C-alpha cells in the first residue's frame, strides 16, 4: 500500500518566477532610492572634495580627499549640484568664522570649486605689507618657525619659511613663505563689502586668492556669501604623487598613512 499523505508531501512545489517587468521595477526603485539618499547627503550634510593644488599647503596637500560639512553656513544655490537658480540668498544661513577653511564657488566661474582660508569679514580692511597681514590697521600676529624643505607637485625641491599666524579670535595655523618680495607680499588696502568675504591660501606665494584682481590677474576677488559651499572638516584619505589609480597596489604604497582622518584646522 502506498502512503498517500507522504507521497503528496514529497512532491516538490513549482515556484513561478516573478514577471520580468516587476523585477525591473524593483531594480529601478532601488536605484532611485540610493540616488535620492546620496543627493540628500550631498546637499544637506557632506560633500567630498580633493585637493589639486599647492595653495593650502602645509595644512592641505595635493592628493588629500576631504569632507566638507554643508550645514555650517546654511544652504544656497551653491550647495546644490550644478547650482540651479532656485534659492534666493541663503536658507538657514549662518555667518562663517574668521579662520575657517572654506570651499566656495569661484565668483568669476561658478563651475569651479576653490578652497581657501577666510581672513576678512564684511567691513574689514585688509592689507598685506612685507608678507604680513594687516587687519583693520593691526598686524596679525606671526611667529617664525623652523624652515621646512618640501618637494612640490611638479617635483621642485624648495625650502619654505614657516610662520604660525594667529588671528584676533585665536584661530591659529601655519603658513608658508618662499619669497621675500612675492607678487602679493605688498598689496593695496582691501575693504570687504557687506555680504562678502576675503579669502587667502596658507601657501602665501603660491595662491591665487582674494589678493589677486579677478579681471587683471584671474584672481578670486571678494567672495559673496551665496557662493559658500561648506566648511572643510576632515581629511579622510591622502595619496602621494606615486599613486596611479590604474595600478591598484599603489593605492597602498602611495597612501599617506599619517593623514588618515586628520581634522582640518
Instruction: Tell me what the pLDDT averaged over the chain comes to.
Output: 88
Q: What does the pLDDT look like over 25-41, one tens digit per residue?
A: 777 777 887 777 766 66
Report pLDDT for 10. 52
Q: 55, 76, 207, 210: which one is catalytic?
A: 55
Catalytic residue among 76, 79, 105, 116: 116
Dump pLDDT digits (tens) for 160-218.
999 999 999 999 999 999 988 888 999 999 999 999 999 999 999 999 999 998 877 77
- C-alpha grid cell for residue 231? 566648511
**Domains, in order of start, for the chain:** 46-124+190-263 (2.10.109.10)
**Is residue 55 among the annotated active site residues?**
yes
Catalytic (active site) residue 116: yes
Cα separation, 100 vs 172, whole angstroms: 10
DSSP 95-152: PPPTT-EEEEEETTEEEEEEEEEEEE-TT-EEEEETTEEEETTEEPEEEEEEEEEEE-
Amino acid at each position: 500500500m502506498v502512503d498517500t499523505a507522504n507521497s503528496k508531501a514529497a512532491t516538490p512545489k513549482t515556484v513561478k518566477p516573478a514577471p520580468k517587468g516587476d523585477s525591473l521595477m524593483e531594480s529601478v526603485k532601488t536605484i532611485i532610492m540610493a540616488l535620492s539618499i546620496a543627493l540628500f547627503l550631498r546637499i544637506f550634510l557632506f560633500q567630498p572634495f580633493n585637493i589639486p593644488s599647492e595653495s593650502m599647503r602645509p595644512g592641505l596637500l595635493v592628493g588629500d580627499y576631504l569632507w566638507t560639512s554643508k550645514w555650517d553656513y546654511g544652504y544656497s544655490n551653491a550647495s546644490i549640484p550644478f547650482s540651479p537658480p532656485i534659492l534666493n540668498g541663503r536658507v538657514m544661513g549662518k555667518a562663517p568664522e574668521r579662520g575657517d577653511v572654506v570651499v566656495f564657488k569661484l565668483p568669476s566661474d561658478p563651475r569651479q570649486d576653490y578652497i581657501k582660508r577666510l581672513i576678512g569679514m564684511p567691513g574689514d580692511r585688509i592689507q598685506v605689507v612685507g608678507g604680513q597681514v594687516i587687519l583693520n590697521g593691526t598686524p596679525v600676529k606671526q611667529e617664525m618657525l623652523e624652515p621646512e624643505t618640501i618637494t612640490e607637485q611638479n617635483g621642485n625641491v624648495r625650502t619654505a619659511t614657516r610662520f604660525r599666524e594667529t588671528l584676533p579670535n585665536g584661530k591659529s595655523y601655519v603658513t608658508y613663505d618662499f619669497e621675500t618680495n612675492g607678487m602679493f607680499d605688498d598689496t593695496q588696502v582691501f575693504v570687504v563689502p557687506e555680504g562678502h568675504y576675503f579669502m587667502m591660501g596658507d601657501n602665501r606665494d603660491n595662491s591665487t586668492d582674494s589678493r589677486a584682481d579677478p579681471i587683471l590677474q584671474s584672481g578670486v576677488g571678494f567672495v559673496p556669501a551665496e557662493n559658500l559651499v561648506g566648511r572643510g572638516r576632515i581629511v579622510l584619505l591622502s595619496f602621494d604623487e606615486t599613486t596611479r589609480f590604474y595600478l591598484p597596489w599603489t593605492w597602498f604604497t602611495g597612501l599617506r598613512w599619517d593623514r588618515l582622518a586628520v581634522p582640518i584646522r
